Every structure is written in C-alpha cells, then in structure tokens.
Amino acid sequence: MPLSLAVPNSTDIDSLQRSSFGGQLADGDPSNRNASDKTKCIQILGAQNEALIKHFTHVTQSFLAPLEKYFASLIPLQKKVTAWRPIPKIQNFNKRDVLKLIATAEPHGLTLTRNADIVALYSEFMACPNFDRWLKTKVKRANEAMWTYYISQLETADVTEFMTGHSEIEAVDLILRLKEMSEMRNELITDNVVKLMRGHAETIEEGLPDDLRQSIVHR
C-alpha cells in the first residue's frame, strides 16, 4: 500500500535545522530561531514527503498491475448481463494461474531481474492477509458494478418483448428469480428496485396460463 510519511514535529525540525543550517539555532533560546529557515525546512520536507508518496504509489500500482489484469479477465463481459438472465458470477481467482502468467512476463516497474524472485514475491504476497483484503474489495466492487448494470437493464426492459421471445418455462423461471431477488436487501436493491422487480414478475405472470400461475403461487 502507498506509504504516508508524517511531517516531523518542531523538535525534529529544530534538530534538522541545526545540522542543515550550520548549527545557527541555540538550544533553549527561542528568540534565535529563524522563522524563515523553519518554513523552508518544512517546505523541503513536504516536497520530499510528496515525492516519496508518488514513488511508492507508482511501485504499488506496478506491483498490482498483473493481478489487476488477471482479475479483470475473470469478470463476465457486460453483454452477458441482461434483464432476463441470472447475473453471471465472477470466476474464481486461481493463484497458480497468476503465478504462471507472472513467470513468463515480468511486471513493469519492478527491478528484480530473476523470474524466480518475482514469482516468489507474488507467491508470498498472495499468502498474506493484505492480498485477501485486496481480493475481497475487488470482488465486491465488481459485483456492485454488475448489479448496477443489471438494474439499469431491468429499468429499460420490454416485458412484452420477453413474453413473445421466450417459453413459458423460461417465464416461470424468471418470475421466481425476480421474486427471490426482490426479497434481498442491500444498498443497491432499494425499494424502487424491489417495486420494479415485482412489477415485472406480476406482468409476466399475468400472461401465463392459469395452471402455471397456480404452480407459481404454491412454490
């Protein structure tokens, strides 16, 4: 993770000033402190801090790049997410597959020269808690993105078109799925989304024969 360095306190700054400005500050005598020098010192330290943050951010991004690329390949294509089909699942993250890819292509920005060192580095990272947190965050965000897109598909879906292009069995399956999803509650499935799901389910159900409608009621 990017490193954040705190700006030193006044005691640390005084010490740095004595070493950097020829020992011009006298201990225990605040009147001898040069406010201008202190300001310059803070500015220098701030610039160094910013440079370090940028450096470690770049290193972190370079290190995660192959993992990000592999994870992106696990996410279903957007065109596979439609209002009338179950939301596709993200494929499992296979650590062995990642290590095979890394062994054949050195990640950009890392200075290790031997592939064996790089593979060992990633292997250790994927065995630590930080990787688990990273992966859980990626999965959560990807699922949220798919749910958001799925809901947008529901909002623009033409139920009449579905009824003319799908079988009764598919219609029953969709009704049950919409009703099941409408029972879920999270930050994405709001009351309006629940109302939308139930409305679609009721509209489709009204177009079914009585015997099928009765079978849905008793499930």
In a domain, 20, yes or no: no
> In this predicted structure, what is the pLDDT of residue 113?
52
Q: Note the pLDDT tens digit of each residue in 31-41.
A: 555 667 677 77
Q: 23-43 b/e with 16+ CB inside 10 Å = b?
A: eebeeeeeeebeeeebeebee
Would 85 be classed as within a structural domain? no
Check residue 49 and give its pLDDT. Answer: 76
Per the domain annotation, does 170 fall within a domain? yes
User: In this predicted structure, what is the pLDDT of residue 166?
Assistant: 85
> What pLDDT shows up at residue 35?
64
Q: Is residue 181 part of a domain?
A: yes
Domain count across the chain: 1
Dihedral Cα 39, 40, 42, 46, nearest 10 deg: 140
Indicate the burial class of 204 (C-beta count within 10 angstroms; 0-12, 13-18, 19 or more).
buried
Assign 30 a pLDDT band (cuts: 50, 70, 90).
low
Give the domain extent around 186. Answer: 157-219
16 lies in some domain: no
- Global confidence as pTM: 0.69
Task: Identify the residue with better confidence: 118 or 4.
Answer: 118
Residue 140 structure tokens? 């959560």
| pLDDT the model gives residue 110 | 57
Examine residue 200 and state whether it is found in any structural domain, yes or no: yes
* Inside any domain, residue 194: yes
Say yes or no to pLDDT of 83 above 70: yes
Compute the distance between CA of residue 142 and CA of residue 133 in angstroms, rounded to an integer.
14
Q: Is the pLDDT of residue 19 over 60?
A: no
Identify whether 166 is part of a domain. yes
Indicate the pLDDT class of residue 88, thresholds 50, 70 and 90: very high
Determine how many CB atoms are found less than 10 A away from the CB of residue 18: 14
pLDDT in tens, 141-193: 999 999 999 999 999 998 888 888 888 889 999 999 999 998 887 788 889 99
